[in-house]
Amino acid sequence: MIGDEMRRGDVLALEGVSVWRGGRQILDEVGFSLAPGEFTGLIGSNGAGKTTILRVVMGLLAPAEGTVLVNGRPLARRNRSVGYVPQKVLIDPDAPLRASDLVALGLDGEKVGPRTPSRQRRQRVEEMLDAVDATAFADARVGNLSGGELQRVLIAHALISRPQLLLMDEPLANLDIRSGQEIVDLLARIAEQQRIAVLLSAHDMNPLLPVMDRVVYVAGGRVAVGTTDDVVRTEVLSKLYGHQVNVLRVDGRVLVVSGSHVSLDAIPRQSGAPAADASVEGR
Amino acid sequence: MFADYMLNAWVVATIVAVVAPVVGFFVVLRGSAFVAHAVPEAAFAGAAGASLLGLNTIFGLGAFALGASLGIGMLGRRGRHDVVTALALVMLLGAGSLFLGWSTEYAPEIYSLLFGEVLGVSGNEIGLTALLGALCLGAIAVLYRPLLLTSVAPELAAARGIRNHRIDMAFLVVVALATTTAVPVVGALLMFSLMVGPAATARCLTDRPLHAVVLSVVIALLTAWASIAAAYQTNWPVGFFVTAFAFAGYLLAHGGRWIRNAYSRPQAPLAGESAA
Ligand SMILES: Nc1ncnc2c1ncn2[C@@H]1O[C@H](COP(=O)(O)OP(=O)(O)OP(=O)(O)O)[C@@H](O)[C@H]1O
Ligand SMILES: [Mg+2]
């Protein structure tokens, strides 16, 4: 694990989290922590384990080993301080449900018993829709929204219960560059203004470079954590991948390309071994 | 047609026409119309079996409906029931026909379990129907929000700590209860059309979930009342009218929506087309 020290006041702290699924180890001693208002990118290629990490943080998946602390406390099943936008949300276009209804369900969708409609409630939904620039399609059916519109509504759904941590699983996957940039800017603004820690997964880190405070780089179930400059470097990522990769910087963009696939035998790969140089330890 | 002996029919049909579409709204939303079809078949098989053994048919009907719901829910994980449902459906139909075959007298009572006997409802059936109906409505009112969220987006529900499988099982029990309410009155085959038809029609007409529920009830009430009246006038079976009216309503609403969409499209041809 290439990790960082746990800090006081962290919204989220993972330590030594290992997960096995179907007889295979998916996460290997993953550890990192997030401070309030921090925008963190969870970067990794397909199948690296990003969704798995987010599901562990949500309490949807129990790790075989390790601890997950939210606000210094162990996970509870329903944690109001964590908002989550899943990778795939398919909504039937025939379902009679408006964008504003879905946002309202973010307020108290898990509660049983009849709901008392109140002006205060409606106002909060309106404010939330406004905060994510979704007022224009508040009355549209959720199933008919475009990818970018739906993404905004889902963010509003996740944020309306005022969480301290927002988890976003590949929100940019189906968006064009412009909508992606708009969503990223929106999230960065929210993180800063409301002191919400944002953990956003993506396979391409470039759209996040301007706003990302830190990066949690996932490969083969292990992570490297730190600022972009600390982590996204040829030596660090080669050690994480266990083979040669090259980090290229072109025009302010970062490219991580696989090298000659020569495995670096010199690098210890046994789990738990500190595989990184000192520069990525801590912050 | 409002004579004393008809009064029970009006009352019971009204209760069923309130309960069935409320449950049906969620059946349609969850895409489990197939389950709503299988459970009444189970009810029919249960009633046929009970009558063969000389037991109370309502009891046999309820037991089978509940058993089928829970079985389908437990075997079909993650809310996907279609294969289990299909197998259960044919198995139950087969069992029903076997029980009927064994039974020495061909009881018209059992025939009415399939096609309904609105015009022959007895007074003491009303109490039971009303009680079970109230239970269903109560359960839906309590579960409304989590049920709505699991039905449209199970991933979002799970993220809020809702246990989708539990809600699924609870809902299947409600479907079984609603079926027990209605099958003795409108019959196994017709219960399905009152559950699914009005709800499917209503969601073409409004974008709001609560409005859609209310609208489903209004459509179901109109369907049920019109069917009784028509059956009384023509002496044709009431079941024919229920299914026909429910389907006609659905076609009308869809046709209406199609026409609306066609007219709201831009009239000018696309640039590429006009050049061609
Ligand atoms: N239930 C499961 N059983 C077995 N393997 C699983 C299970 N769930 C996930 N995996 C495996 O775990 C690995 C990590 O999956 P995960 O969904 O976390 O990847 P990801 O980084 O989110 O990828 P993507 O970018 O494609 O979404 C994959 O190899 C996947 O096949
Ligand atoms: Mg994923």
- Angstrom distance (rounded) from CA B15 to CA B9: 10
Can you tell me which residue has the tokens 């899943």? A86
Q: Do A112 and B145 touch (CB under 8 A)?
A: yes
Query: Stretch A159-185: mean pLDDT, rounded?
Result: 91
Spell out the residues 6+ positions from residue B138 whose beta carbon is closer than 8 angstroms to its own: none
Query: Stretch A8-35: mean pLDDT, rounded?
Result: 90
Is residue A169 domain-resident?
yes
Is residue A267 domain-resident?
no
Edge-first strand order for the sheet with A24-34 is A24-34, A12-21, A65-70, A73-74
Tokens describing residue B68:
């089928």
Which of A173, A229, A218, A263 has the alpha carbon at shortest distance from A48? Answer: A218
Is residue B273 domain-resident?
no
Torsion angles phi and psi, residue A18, rounded to 5: -120, 140
Is the pLDDT at B115 greater than 80, yes or no?
no
Task: Please count the residues of chain B.
Answer: 276
Full domain range(s) for residue B137: 4-264
pLDDT at A231: 87
A5 — pLDDT class (breaks 50, 70, 90): low
Atom index in ligand 1 nearest the CA of residue A87 equals 27
ipTM: 0.85
Does ligand 1 have an atom closer than 6 angstroms to the CB of A256? no
Does ligand 1 have an atom closer than 6 angstroms to the CB of A44? yes
Most confident range, picked from A68-77, A139-148, B34-43:
A139-148
Is the pLDDT at B9 greater than 60, yes or no?
yes
Is residue A190 domain-resident?
yes
Of A78, A89, A98, the CB nearest to B156: A89
Is residue B271 domain-resident?
no
Under DSSP, the state recorded for B76 is S
Is the pLDDT at A126 greater than 70, yes or no?
yes
Is residue A228 domain-resident?
yes
Q: Whose CA is nearest to atom 29 of ligand 1?
A: A47
Is residue B42 domain-resident?
yes
Tokens describing residue B5:
């002996």
User: What SS3 class is residue B103?
Assistant: coil
Q: Do B153 and A79 touch (CB under 8 A)?
A: no
Most confident range, picked from A142-151, A259-268, B5-14:
A142-151
pLDDT at B154: 92
Q: Do B160 and A78 touch (CB under 8 A)?
A: yes
pLDDT at B274: 41
Residue range B69-82, pLDDT digits in tens: 888 888 776 556 77
Tokens describing residue A200:
């956003």
- Angstrom distance (rounded) from CA B15 to CA A33: 57
pLDDT at B43: 86
- Angstrom distance (rounded) from CA B272 to CA A48: 44
In sequence order, the β-bridge partners of residue A12 are A34, A70
Is the pLDDT at B257 greater than 80, yes or no?
yes
Is residue A168 domain-resident?
yes
A8 reaches B (C-beta below 8 A)? no
Is the pLDDT at A272 greater than 80, yes or no?
no
pLDDT at A53: 95
Torsion angles phi and psi, residue B135, rounded to 5: -60, -45
Smallest CA–CA separation between B197 and chain A, in Å?
Answer: 14
Spell out the residues 6+ positions from residue B62 whose beta carbon is closer than 8 angstroms to its own: B43, B46, B176, B177, B180
Is residue B87 domain-resident?
yes
Is residue A140 domain-resident?
yes
Nearest chain B residue to A80, by CA: B160
Residue range B169-211, pLDDT digits in tens: 999 999 999 988 877 677 777 788 899 999 999 999 999 999 9
Count of domains observed in chain B: 1
- Produce one character per residue of A244-256: b if its CB has 16 or more CB atoms within 10 Å, e if not: bbebeeeeeeeeb
Query: Stretch A244-271: mean pLDDT, rounded?
Result: 67
Does ligand 1 have an atom closer than 6 angstroms to the CB of A50? yes
Please report, for the domain that includes residue A84, its CATH number: 3.40.50.300
- Which of A204-218, B153-167, B259-273 has the least mean pLDDT? B259-273
Whether A186 and A149 have beta carbons less than 8 Å apart is answered as no
Percent pLDDT > 70 in chain A is 87
Q: Whose CA is nearest to atom 31 of ligand 1?
A: A47
CA angle in degrees (0–180, nearest 5) for B113-B115-B116: 65
pLDDT at A52: 95
Is residue A253 domain-resident?
no
Does ligand 1 have an atom closer than 6 angstroms to the CB of A51? yes
Dihedral sign (CA B145, B151, B153, B156): positive
Residue range B40-65, pLDDT digits in tens: 888 888 888 888 888 887 888 889 99
Residue range A224-250, pLDDT digits in tens: 999 988 888 888 888 888 888 888 888
Tokens describing residue A61:
């998946």
What's the gap in Å between A252 CA and the centre of ligand 2? 26
B100 — pLDDT class (breaks 50, 70, 90): confident
A260 — pLDDT class (breaks 50, 70, 90): low
What stretch of H or E contains A66?
strand A65-70
Please report, for the domain that includes residue B62, its CATH number: 1.10.3470.10
Q: Whose CA is nearest to atom 1 of ligand 1?
A: A21
- In A109-245, which residue ranges form alpha helices assigned H by DSSP? 119-131, 147-159, 177-194, 228-231, 234-241
pLDDT at B181: 81
State in Å, rounded, how far the first CA of chain B is from the last one: 64
What is the number of other CB atoms lying within 10 angstroms of the CB of residue B183? 31
- Which of A234-248, A260-274, B32-46, B143-157 has the least mean pLDDT? A260-274
Q: Radius of gyration (Cα) for chain A, nearest Å? A: 19
- Angstrom distance (rounded) from CA A229 to CA A75: 31
Is residue A138 domain-resident?
yes
For a ligand 1 pocket test, name from A43, A50, A168, A169 the mutation site with the most ligand atoms within 8 angstroms of its C-beta.
Answer: A50
What's the gap in Å between A50 CA and the centre of ligand 1? 8
Instruction: Report the relative pairing of strands A39-43 and A214-219 from DSSP bridges.
Output: parallel
Tokens describing residue A150:
């739906």
Does ligand 1 have an atom closer than 6 angstroms to the CB of A23? no
Full domain range(s) for residue A194: 12-232
- Compute the half-sphere exposure of residue A37: CA atoms within 13 Å on the CB side of its CA: 5
Query: Stretch B65-94: mean pLDDT, rounded?
Result: 80
Atom index in ligand 1 nearest the CA of residue A22 equals 4
**DSSP string of B7-57?**
HHHHHHHHHHHHHHHHHHHHHHHTT-HHHHHHHHHHHHHHHHHHHHTT--H
- Angstrom distance (rounded) from CA A27 to CA B258: 50
In sequence order, the β-bridge partners of residue A69 are A13, A74
Smallest CA–CA separation between A110 and chain B, in Å?
Answer: 5
Instruction: Report the relative pairing of strands A253-263 and A243-250 from DSSP bridges.
Output: antiparallel
- Angstrom distance (rounded) from CA A187 to CA A193: 10
List C-alpha distances in Å: A252 to A177, A212, A214: 16, 14, 17
Is the pLDDT at A33 greater than 80, yes or no?
yes
- Angstrom distance (rounded) from CA B67 to CA B88: 11
Q: Do B161 and A78 touch (CB under 8 A)?
A: yes
Residue range A190-199, pLDDT digits in tens: 889 999 999 9
Strand stretches in chain A, DSSP E: 12-21, 24-34, 39-43, 65-70, 73-74, 82-85, 165-168, 197-202, 214-219, 222-226, 243-250, 253-263
Residue range A64-111, pLDDT digits in tens: 999 999 988 887 766 678 999 998 899 999 999 999 999 999 998 888
Q: Whose CA is nearest to atom 30 of ligand 1?
A: A47
Which of B178, B172, B179 has the alpha carbon at shortest distance from B79? Answer: B172
In sequence order, the β-bridge partners of residue A254 are A249
Mean confidence (pLDDT) of chain B: 84
Atom index in ligand 1 nearest the CA of residue A55 equals 18
**DSSP string of B201-261?**
HHHHH-S-HHHHHHHHHHHHHHHHHHHHHHHHHH---HHHHHHHHHHHHHHHHHHHHHHHH
Which pTM was predicted? 0.86
- Angstrom distance (rounded) from CA B139 to CA B220: 20
For a ligand 1 pocket test, name from A45, A46, A51 the mutation site with the most ligand atoms within 8 angstroms of its C-beta.
Answer: A51
Q: Whose CA is nearest to atom 16 of ligand 1?
A: A49
Is the pLDDT at A274 greater than 60, yes or no?
no
Is residue B276 domain-resident?
no
Under DSSP, the state recorded for B102 is H
Tokens describing residue B78:
């993650």
Whether B207 and B4 have beta carbons less than 8 Å apart is answered as no
What's the gap in Å between A202 CA and the centre of ligand 2? 8
Query: Stretch B234-248: mean pLDDT, rounded?
Result: 87
Of A79, A101, A158, the CB nearest to B209: A101
Count of domains observed in chain A: 1
Of A58, A105, A140, the CB nearest to B145: A105
Whether B47 and B62 have beta carbons less than 8 Å apart is answered as no
Most confident range, picked from A76-80, B66-70, B134-138, B160-164:
B134-138
pLDDT at B167: 93
